[in-house]
Each structure stands twice: as structure tokens, then as C-alpha cells.
A and B are shown apart, each in its own frame.
Chain A
Amino acid sequence: MTVSIPSVLLVDENKIRAAIIEAGLREAGYEQVHVIGETLGLARHIEQISPDVIVIDLENPNRDLLESMFQLSRTVKRPIAMFVDQSDQTSIEAAVDAGVSAYIVDGLTKERVKPILDMAISRFNAFARMSRELQDARDELAGRKVIDRAKAILMKAKNINEDEAYRLLRKTAMTQNRKIADIAQSLVTAENLMNEK
């Protein structure tokens, strides 16, 4: 008896994340990966694709719909159980922490589903890390702008040059045990308040 590779349906409104997970699954040998971005017509898609495993992000409002479909199992032909295994609390925790949930067709063994869920979890985590790093980079850029503005305020008020202004900011940050960007922000806020009419 040949064991076929489970087909996976990925429901994710975030196109970039979906692409990352899809690539991961394909690299791992899951050739049959379907991705649905839009939330309308989920039932119809599932009926057509008839997947073995459904991976859906926790932020997707259609999870309740999905669960009701499995429960009534009129549109979906086979009964579907959820998550990996009810006893596998660690997998459930890892999945929820990463922001992903998986629904599996009854009859698929845990061993065959686990790698799919693990892959989804790791890719979800990688995506979250990427988004965080992007946000940090944006914050840093915004911080740099604030510092430039604070330097200009100091240069004008104290009639000093740029290097001296920066040293002053750094010194204050060190003595107050705060970030340079925070000190700069306070200065800019104070300046805005002073200039408010």
C-alpha cells in the first residue's frame, strides 16, 4: 500500500506569511499545498480541494465557521478532528503561541501531521520575528529623526555645534540611565509645548 502525501490547505489573509509557509511546506515535500487568502467561500474551497490538513491563522475570523463545518460535516465529506492530538498539550501550546491552528482529517496519524504543524509553527514564528525586526528598524529610523531634531534645538539654544549637541544628549542619557532617543523625544516634546500658541 502506498502512503500518499497529505494535501494541505492554508488559510491566511496575510499574503507574505502565506507565501513563506507554502514555500516551507513545498521544500519539505508537500506538493499539494493550496492557499486561500480571501475569507469568502471558504466552504466551497474546502469542498473542492478536500484537504487532509487545514492550517489557519488564529487571527482569522473564519475559525468558528470552519469548526461548525466540521461539526455538521455536511459540506465536508469526511469527519475532521482538530489539532494534532487532544493529549498533546505542548503542540497545542506551541501552535497557539505562534498564532496558528491546524485541523486534520480524522484517520491521519499524528506522526504524519506533526511535521506539517511543526513547519507551520516555525514559519509563523519566523514571520513574527521578521515583522518585529522590521518594526524595530522603523522605530530606529524614527528615533534617528528625533535625535537630529533634538540636536538642532540644542545647537540653536546653546549656540553649540552638532558634535557638542550630540555629546550633551549622550551625557544626559547616561546620567539619567535612559535611551538617547528618549531624551531627544523629551526635548522635542518640550520644544513643541513652548512653541504652542
Chain B
Amino acid sequence: MDKVRAGFIPLTDAAILIAAREKGFAEEADIDLELAREISWANIRDRMAVGHFDIAHMLAPMPVAAAIGLSPVPVEILAPMALGLGGNAVTVSTTLYETLGENGYDDSLNPEIAGKSLVALIEKRRARNLPDLVFGVVHPYSSHNYDLRYWLSACGIDPEKDLQIVVLPPSFMPDALAQGNIDGYCVGEPWNTASVAAGTGVILTTKSRLWQSSPEKVLGVNNRFATACPELLDRIVCSFVSAAIWCANPKNHHELASILAEPRYLDQSVEVILPALSGDIAITNRLRIQDPDFFTTFARAANFPWRSHALWYYSQMVRWGQASFSEENAARAAASFAPDIFRRAATRMEIPVPAANSKVEGALTNATAVGAGKNTLYLGPDGFFDGAPFDPEKIEDYIRSQSAIK
């Protein structure tokens, strides 16, 4: 058996890695998958850089950031597979939730309505000289940061001036919210449900509503490892696809939740883990929603590393001043996602796979059948809540149009 060392952060979307080990998919592929729990994304990156990890559960923008030199340690990271679509939410304190209700929020989870009530509230707070609201995200190079900022600015809120965004580790969010250090946060599960269950928070909207079928975590692979062991990497991706299919089956959700609940993984109760998997989610202590698209581990090409996703992250890095735009950087950003590796594995697994490497994000308003060899593959809907599409071919125009509204 080949030993493969992987790092992960205790989050529900580490499910594929954990299932690959616990349900024997890695072993079937002759892989001894060693999982190491880490506390910060910086550690995942640094330990990959020095060779402690061959692969890791990773924020999708991290390989992009590393590719354009934003990583403080030199490391090249490839993303040959995505670990699912969606899975995040925006949670606010019960106090903020109540005041948003007084300003027009209607429990719909509609990002536009939620945003409008937030605009109204921010104006009132400003008139009364109250301090800025504080929202938490998990990392500067995270979907959480970009999703939250996208949502706020599309609603007319300047995330740099109208409120304050701070970085906190995922598992610290519920406590920080309960203690009043922050007013809300954007984080992966189970840390939204944890606050709802504790009665200290309310889910205001979900990533699946901000941007449908949107990327979140990827399998990050040390490029040195990818180059040295291409055959082993293929086997890893194949076994992770098997794990993704297993995770997606509703019959397995309970078992998956109990595996994730173990002390060495998430160390949380089954009750707070299950909702993200089943889509049966409590948003307050009395309201539930059914959102089957909340977190997708396999369907709709959920594991395909779209280069258009990598480029969207890059566009947001430019938008928020983390990077400057250049054709060279854009090419590097796109190349950090490796759809070819995934396609090779998918062919071996006989699962449908998109023929293109990129798509116009927001072009599909419904689930649409696309050609994918002999199988049918459904993609999308993949739109942003404000209806603005992202065409990766016109990334400069996109960035320009966004800086205009910012």
C-alpha cells in the first residue's frame, strides 16, 4: 500500500477524505490514507509546503493564491478535484436577526431581502452613531470572504466601510457570536447549525442562494507530489470519487454523520452534522427549510475543478485589492485547477464528466443536461443571486464592472 498523508480542518465538507479512509475506498485503491487534523488553514498550507502533507482538504482559493504568489511560503498547489458545491451559510446573532426583522427581513433566506434589511439597519445605526457591525470569515483567501463581500456589495453595502470583516477559525465562530464579539459570520457546517442549536444564532442566508452550484473546498495537492507520483494521484482521485458517491447517497447520511462526529474528526454531535448532509436545516429554533442543494458532494459535476471557478476567485482577489490584474496571473490562477487529472479519473470510473474546462458562471438558470460522453450530466443552475454572469473570457470587463459598483 502507498502511504498518503493528508491534512484536514474539522468541517463537514472534509467528508470525502474522511469517508475515503473510514469506508475503505482508499484502501481498495491500495492507499494507506493518513489523516491529520489541523487547526488553521495556514498550517495546512505550511505543512504542505514543507512536505508533511501530500494532499489536503483546502479552501478553493488557496491554490489560486499560491499560484499568483500570495502565499507567504513558496508552494505550488494543484486542485485536481473539488470536494463539493455549497455548504456555507451566513449566520447572525439572534439580536441582529430581530432588528433585521424590524427592518423588513421576512425569514425567506432571500439574499436580496436580507441585504435590504441590513442596508436599512446600517443606516439607522449610523444615524445613532452606533459602532460598525462585525462579521467573521475564516480566511482572507476563502469563499466565505468573497461570498460575503459579493453579497454585501451587490446589496449596496461597502464591506470595507459600512461594516467590519474579521478573520476567525471556523470552530470559534459560535462562541464569538454568543459572546457578542461578532454580529454574524460566514462559515461552513456544522458551525452555522451549532449556533442555531445553541439558540444564539439564526441562519440568514445560504451559499446555495448567493451563488448556485458554487465552489467551496478542493483537494489540494502538492505539485511536487503530483509530478512525482501521477499514477498514485489518479488512484487517489478515483477513490475520492467513490467516496463522494457514497457520501451523496441519502441512505448513508446518518452513518456519515456519525463518522464525522467522532472525537478525532469533528468532535460534534450527530444532530448538528446531519442537517447539512440531509438538507433538512433548522434556520432558527422554530423554522426549518428543505434545501437539497445546500451541500452537494457528487451530483452536478460537484467534483469537477472548473477553471472558471479558479478565475472567479482571482477576479475577487483583484476586486478586493489582494492582487493586481495581469494576463500572466490569470493564466497561473486558471492553471492551478487541473480538470485534466479529474477527467482522467472520471473516465476510468465511467462517470459523466464535462467536456469543457470552463463555463460562463450564471449561464444556466435551470438544471441542464449537457453532453458528457455516453452518459448524461446535469449541470447548474449556477447563477449569482443578482443575476450578473461571470464570463471567464471577459474577466477584465467583469473586474471593471465590479469596481464601478464598489
Pairwise interchain contact A71-B140, C-beta atoms closer than 8 A: yes
Once A92-B49, A92-B50, A101-B46 are accepted as A-B contacts, the answer to whether A68 and B167 lie under 8 Å apart by CB is yes
A86-119 residues with Cβ-Cβ distance < 8 A to B are: 86-87, 89, 92-93, 96-97, 101, 103
Expressed in whole angstroms, the Cα–Cα distance for A83 and B50 within the complex equals: 13
Expressed in whole angstroms, the Cα–Cα distance for A16 and B245 within the complex equals: 47
B131-186 residues with Cβ-Cβ distance < 8 A to A are: 138-140, 166-169, 171-172, 181
Report B334 CB to chain A, min CB distance, Å.
23
- Please give me the residue from chain A that is nearest to B172 by CB atom: A61
B residues with CB within 8 A of A: 39-43, 46-47, 49-52, 72-74, 138-140, 166-169, 171-172, 181, 322
Expressed in whole angstroms, the Cα–Cα distance for A59 and B74 within the complex equals: 21
What mask results when residues 64 to 81 of chain A are scored 1 for a CB within 8 Å of chain B, else 0? 110111011000000001
B169's partner among A61, A67, A89 (CB-CB below 8 A) is A61
Pairwise interchain contact A92-B140, C-beta atoms closer than 8 A: no
User: Is A63 close to B, CB under 8 A?
Assistant: yes
Expressed in whole angstroms, the Cα–Cα distance for A61 and B168 within the complex equals: 8
Report B76 CB to chain A, min CB distance, Å.
13
A residues with CB within 8 A of B: 40, 58-65, 67-69, 71-72, 81-83, 86-87, 89, 92-93, 96-97, 101, 103
- Please give me the residue from chain A that is nearest to B43 by CB atom: A58
Pairwise interchain contact A96-B46, C-beta atoms closer than 8 A: yes
Expressed in whole angstroms, the Cα–Cα distance for A72 and B49 within the complex equals: 23
- How many interface contacts (CB-CB < 8 Å) are there between A and B? 65
Assuming A69-B167, A93-B51, what are 17 further A-B pairs, CB within 8 angstroms?
A: A58-B46, A60-B40, A61-B39, A61-B40, A64-B41, A65-B166, A65-B167, A67-B140, A68-B140, A68-B167, A82-B72, A83-B73, A86-B72, A86-B74, A92-B46, A93-B50, A103-B72
Report B67 CB to chain A, min CB distance, Å.
15
Pairwise interchain contact A96-B72, C-beta atoms closer than 8 A: no
14 contacts between A and B (CB under 8 A): A62-B169, A63-B42, A64-B41, A65-B169, A67-B72, A67-B167, A68-B140, A71-B322, A82-B73, A83-B72, A83-B73, A86-B73, A89-B74, A96-B49
Report B201 CB to chain A, min CB distance, Å.
19
Pairwise interchain contact B138-A64, C-beta atoms closer than 8 A: yes
Expressed in whole angstroms, the Cα–Cα distance for A58 and B72 within the complex equals: 15
- Please give me the residue from chain A that is nearest to B320 by CB atom: A72
Majority-rule SS of B interface residues: loop
Expressed in whole angstroms, the Cα–Cα distance for A69 and B140 within the complex equals: 9
Report A98 CB to chain B, min CB distance, Å.
11
Expressed in whole angstroms, the Cα–Cα distance for A7 and B171 within the complex equals: 32
Pairwise interchain contact A96-B47, C-beta atoms closer than 8 A: yes
B52's partner among A81, A89, A96 (CB-CB below 8 A) is A96
Pairwise interchain contact B169-A64, C-beta atoms closer than 8 A: yes
- Please give me the residue from chain A that is nearest to B139 by CB atom: A64
Residues of B within 8 A of A82 (CB): 72-73
Expressed in whole angstroms, the Cα–Cα distance for A50 and B172 within the complex equals: 25
Report B164 CB to chain A, min CB distance, Å.
10
Residues of B within 8 A of A83 (CB): 72-73
Residues of A within 8 A of B72 (CB): 67, 81-83, 86, 103
Report B2 CB to chain A, min CB distance, Å.
23
Expressed in whole angstroms, the Cα–Cα distance for A67 and B167 within the complex equals: 9
Residues of B within 8 A of A97 (CB): 50
Expressed in whole angstroms, the Cα–Cα distance for A71 and B42 within the complex equals: 13
- Please give me the residue from chain A that is nearest to B42 by CB atom: A63
Residues of A within 8 A of B140 (CB): 67-68, 71-72
Expressed in whole angstroms, the Cα–Cα distance for A69 and B165 within the complex equals: 11
Pairwise interchain contact B73-A68, C-beta atoms closer than 8 A: no
Expressed in whole angstroms, the Cα–Cα distance for A69 and B139 within the complex equals: 11
For the complex of A and B, the 9 pairs showing the least CB-CB separation, nearest first, are A82-B72, A68-B167, A61-B169, A63-B42, A63-B40, A68-B140, A65-B167, A93-B50, A96-B50
Report A159 CB to chain B, min CB distance, Å.
45
- Please give me the residue from chain B that is nearest to A99 by CB atom: B43
- Please give me the residue from chain A that is nearest to B46 by CB atom: A96
Report A6 CB to chain B, min CB distance, Å.
19
Expressed in whole angstroms, the Cα–Cα distance for A67 and B32 within the complex equals: 33
Expressed in whole angstroms, the Cα–Cα distance for A103 and B46 within the complex equals: 13
Residues of A within 8 A of B52 (CB): 96
